[in-house]
């Protein structure tokens, strides 16, 4: 298994006024908050969206731990569908100090490259500030989709920290 050096970039949106939304006008798109998100569906989304980008952190969580996280009052999971078919999702986590983190965000592979990432991120921004976010933040890394950082910056997020680490790819 190869070991690679990864750069992680943290970005923040200090206020809703800094957001630069871009939405699709596709009437087939729907956004749904899952309250709570079923564990089996979450695992499917996490795998289908994240496997290409080496998401593995939540794989180690037991169903019980994941269910408790998804039921927590400060966790929100929203799905994007096109014509009823799952296209992507985002997970928001509100922290005690009032900031909201976009913990996970992404599209299923067959929906990448269709302009839906900007739309979904714009919806995530709205949902986070509707939660009363004092600021919104996320992180991405060089293992993520090549357009991820550009999408975050285009929607108004600004980098505030970077770090490097070694990752073993499986």
Report the percent of the chain where pLDDT is more than 90: 91
* Burial of 165 (C-beta count, 10 Å sphere; 0-12/13-18/19+): exposed
The whole-number pLDDT of residue 169 equals 82
Report, at the CATH architecture level, how domain 3-168 is classified: 3-Layer(aba) Sandwich (3.40)
pLDDT for res 150: 95
- Contact between residue 127 and residue 75 where contact means Cβ atoms under 8 Å apart: no
Strand runs labelled E in 49-99? 75-82, 85-94
Prediction pTM value:
0.94
Q: Report residue 39's pLDDT band, with 50, 70 and 90 as the boundaries.
A: very high
Q: For 91-113, what is each residue's pLDDT tens digit?
A: 999 999 999 999 999 999 999 99
Burial of residue 13 (CB within 10 Å: 0-12, 13-18, 19+) is buried
Query: What are 131-159's pLDDT values in tens digits?
Result: 999 999 999 999 999 999 999 999 999 99
Tell me which residue has tokens 């975050």: 152
Mean pLDDT of the chain: 95
Give 55 or 61, the one with higher predicted confidence: 61
The answer, yes or no, to whether residue 170 has pLDDT greater than 80, is no
What are the domain boundaries of the chain? Answer: 3-168
The CA distance from 9 to 90, in Å, is 18
């Amino acid at each position: 298994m190869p070991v690679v050096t990864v750069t992680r970039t943290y970005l923040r949106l200090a206020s809703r006024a800094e957001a630069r939304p871009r939405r699709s006008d596709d009437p087939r798109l729907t956004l749904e908050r899952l309250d709570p998100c079923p564990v089996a569906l979450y695992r499917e989304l996490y795998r289908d969206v994240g496997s290409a980008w080496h998401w593995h952190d939540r794989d180690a969580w037991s169903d019980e731990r994941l269910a408790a996280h998804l039921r927590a009052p400060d966790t929100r999971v929203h799905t994007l569908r096109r014509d009823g078919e799952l296209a992507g999702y985002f997970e928001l986590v509100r922290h005690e100090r009032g900031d909201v983190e976009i913990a996970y965000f992404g599209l299923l592979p067959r929906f990448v490259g269709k302009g839906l990432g900007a739309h979904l991120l714009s919806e995530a921004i709205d949902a986070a500030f509707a939660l009363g976010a004092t600021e919104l933040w996320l992180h991405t890394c060089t293992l993520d989709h090549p357009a991820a950082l550009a999408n975050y910056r285009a929607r108004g997020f600004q980098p505030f920290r970077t770090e490097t680490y070694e990752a073993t790819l499986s």
